[in-house]
Amino acid sequence: MIDFGNDFVDENYFFVPESFDAFTFLYINMVSEESDVDAYINQKWFNLNADVEKSVVEKWWNTLKSSYTRPHRKYHTFFHVKRMLTHMDSLINEIQNKDAVSYAIFFHDVAYDPRSQENEDRSVEIFNEFCTESELSKDSPLKIAVKREFFSNEELVAKVKELILALKAHCTDEHKKEGLFGKDDLHYFLDFDMSVLGSDPAEYKKYTQQIKEEYYFMPKSKYNIVRSKILEHFLQIPNIYATQEFQEKYEKQARSNIQSEIEWLKVED
């Protein structure tokens, strides 16, 4: 056993010996944070699937974890899933079909290749596989009345697919007209997905670097051009966010962050 002595003890009883360098300390913190994220998402997943055969739930937990932890993913990881679930928790009373939105969050990026134009379609296919194995598409009076909040499983499955496929356009009428707010599950789901745009400047800077790393295969000059066009589109539409809650809380900061990134990309050229 290593004796850490009294080099450092914080209120959480986390020991850091004097011999540890900064890199080691940051690495331990990163591993600890990842473990916390995994535990949070794991609990959400098993609670969501309380009426599904445990072996199936465990198998698909491993499938999700394997997908979201692949080396090429830097932003589209479990951290992104946790961010969305956390936002959903904060607005849970506004969500109509909670299970559908939860499943959509878990599966929306289960297939992610930045070089592909079919990620959403592939994610829906994988969700279909889960539905078959979990028998999620089969209705029962107990599931409808107790677990699925009076939405039939058929309605739930259809809603999940609708939400995931909506990410292709990532735009609704509420995005196109100033002063218009959305209240549907779709609007909240899309806002959850884009919440990082309205994060504080330091977090946003980290996000931009992670996205750039995911596009490692693209020449820097091309990436800067493509990325700038996408960002400029966001500045041109009346509303980056569809719901009133997100517009009031994040819209201004999102536009500031996006404008800053456009300026960074210009400097890099």
pLDDT value for 32: 54
| Per-residue burial over 235-259, b = 16 or more CB atoms within 10 Å of its CB, e = otherwise | eeeebbbbbebbbeebbeebeebbe
pLDDT in tens, 128-166: 999 999 998 665 544 444 455 556 888 999 999 999 999
pLDDT in tens, 64-94: 999 999 999 999 999 999 999 999 999 999 9
Reduced to 3 states, what is the DSSP secondary structure of residue 54?
Answer: helix
Mean pLDDT, residues 40-64 taken together: 96
DSSP line for 223-264: HHHHHHHHHHHHHHSS-S--SHHHHHHHHHHHHHHHHHHHHH
Residue with the two structure tokens 């994988």: 126
Task: Please choose, from the candidates 88, 87, 101, 91, the residue with its C-alpha nearest in 3D space to the C-alpha of residue 148.
Answer: 101
Q: Supply the pTM of this predicted model.
A: 0.85
What are the start-end ranges of the E strands in 58-207? none
pLDDT band of residue 15 (cuts 50, 70, 90) is very low
pLDDT band of residue 21 (cuts 50, 70, 90) is low
Residue with the two structure tokens 């500031």: 256
Residue 103: burial class (beta carbons within 10 Å; 0-12, 13-18, 19+): buried
- The phi and psi torsions of 232 (rounded to 5 degrees) equal -65, -35
